[in-house]
Structure 1
Amino acid sequence: MKKQGGFTLIELVVVIVILGILAVTAAPKFLNLQEDARKSSLQGLKGAMDGAAGIVYGKAAIEGKERSSATDEEVDGIDIIYGYPKASDTGIALAVTGLSEDWVSAVDTTQSAAAYVTTFKSDSVSGATQIINTKCFVRYTEATSTAVDSIAKASVIDDEC
């Protein structure tokens, strides 16, 4: 008679328990990836906005428009103020490629300086108030003067991504 080789029921249960413990300890690392990815995407958008603003400022400086506060100044079809893109659909939204197509944006009038807020595309989010309420967005604030502390800048708010 041949002896059959195999696993006993207790051995199989032990293996299943060990796999369960490993899954429970490893799962939190994988579950948090979406939050990290969203925050990283916002940081990338911030970098794109800062980079685009710098390029537009360079073009404005070449044309001698970097000190102008006139509301009708433009560089390459992009509305500017003090050489930087304005916080509008005809300013920073045109300077950053894909901003209008891939993100939801709106002008934020709640700040003392004009700002443009942008978050992830969603059917349920539209308008500055809803974007701000997500607590997961990028705010581009337009330049208010030629002073160093008043230039255009982007900032990330990622409290609840």
Structure 2
Amino acid sequence: MNKQTGFTLVELIIVIVILGILAVTAAPKFLDLQGDANASTIQGVAGAIDSGSSIVYGKAVIAGKQKTIKTASPTPPTIPNDVGQTIALNYGYPTAAVDGLLRAIDINATLATASPLGDFTYVIPSTGVMYIYANGTTVPTGSNDSLICAVKYTEATATGTAPNVVYNAAQTTVFTNDC
């Protein structure tokens, strides 16, 4: 009589269950796709800011407002956007405010205290500086830039030709450490 050797059905099921438990607990540690997705999204927002501020600057040059500094009174210089709103300007670039940058790039960003939250959240920790960050990541404070997943926009402080070139124009910085 031949004695057959091999695994029983119960042994095979136990091995499959153990492999399933390992896959559920270990795989997310090796496949952190959420962080990569957040980092890519934030870099996309940075691209939108760079493009949007350049388009706004071009419109400001055509309107002759590229050398005009923002003032509180009587009103800051503005140009119209495509949906009938006005974009507040400082040296021809969007201001770091809702009526400036957010209207220029037209994304769904809400203040951190708003309910419900938009696709992104924004915070203005100081005059002329705006952070746009992914929901659920560390809130930017202006002093924790090495720990955040955000885009930092600093509005223009002098007449210039384009952001991040030779002139002291609008600055866009991307932080992806907390993504």
TM-score, structure 1 normalization: 0.74
2:152 aligned with 1:143:
no
Q: 2:90 maps to what in 1? A: 81
Against the structure 1 CA distance between its residues 9 and 99, is the aligned structure 2 distance closer, same or farther, given a 3 Å change threshold?
A: closer
Task: State the alpha-carbon separation in 1 of the partners of residues 39 and 155 from structure 2.
Answer: 22
Q: 1:156 maps to what in 2? A: 174
Q: Show the 5 A alignment for 1:7-22.
A: 7-8=7-8, 12=12, 16=16, 19=19
- Residue 130 of structure 1: CA displacement? 9.1
Against the structure 1 CA distance between its residues 52 and 160, is the aligned structure 2 distance closer, same or farther, given a 3 Å change threshold?
A: same
Against the structure 1 CA distance between its residues 25 and 104, is the aligned structure 2 distance closer, same or farther, given a 3 Å change threshold?
A: closer
Which consecutive residues of structure 2, in runs of 5 or more, have no partner in the other structure?
81-85, 110-117, 161-165
Against the structure 1 CA distance between its residues 28 and 97, is the aligned structure 2 distance closer, same or farther, given a 3 Å change threshold?
A: same
- Residue 66 of structure 1: CA displacement? 1.1
2:121 aligned with 1:104:
yes
- Residue 38 of structure 1: CA displacement? 0.8
Q: 2:135 maps to what in 1? A: 121
Against the structure 1 CA distance between its residues 14 and 103, is the aligned structure 2 distance closer, same or farther, given a 3 Å change threshold?
A: closer
Report how many residues are paired: 152
Q: Is the 8 A contact 2:88 2:95 kept in 1?
A: yes
Q: Is the 8 A contact 1:65 1:83 kept in 2?
A: yes
Counterpart AA for 1:137: A
Q: Is the 8 A contact 2:133 2:151 kept in 1?
A: yes
Secondary structure of the structure 1 residue equivalent to 2:123: strand
Q: Is the 8 A contact 2:138 2:149 kept in 1?
A: no
Against the structure 1 CA distance between its residues 130 and 154, is the aligned structure 2 distance closer, same or farther, given a 3 Å change threshold?
A: closer
Task: State the alpha-carbon separation in 1 of the partners of residues 105 and 51 from structure 2.
Answer: 9
Task: State the alpha-carbon separation in 2 of the partners of residues 82 and 97 from structure 1.
Answer: 20
- Residue 157 of structure 1: CA displacement? 1.4
Task: State the alpha-carbon separation in 2 of the partners of residues 14 and 125 from structure 1.
Answer: 41
- Residue 91 of structure 1: CA displacement? 0.5
Q: Show the 5 A alignment for 1:49-64.
A: 49-64=49-64
Q: 1:92 maps to what in 2? A: 101
Which consecutive residues of structure 1, in runs of 5 or more, have no partner in the other structure?
none
> Higher mean Cα deviation, 96-105 or 10-19?
10-19
**Identity, % of aligned pairs?**
39
- Residue 8 of structure 1: CA displacement? 3.0
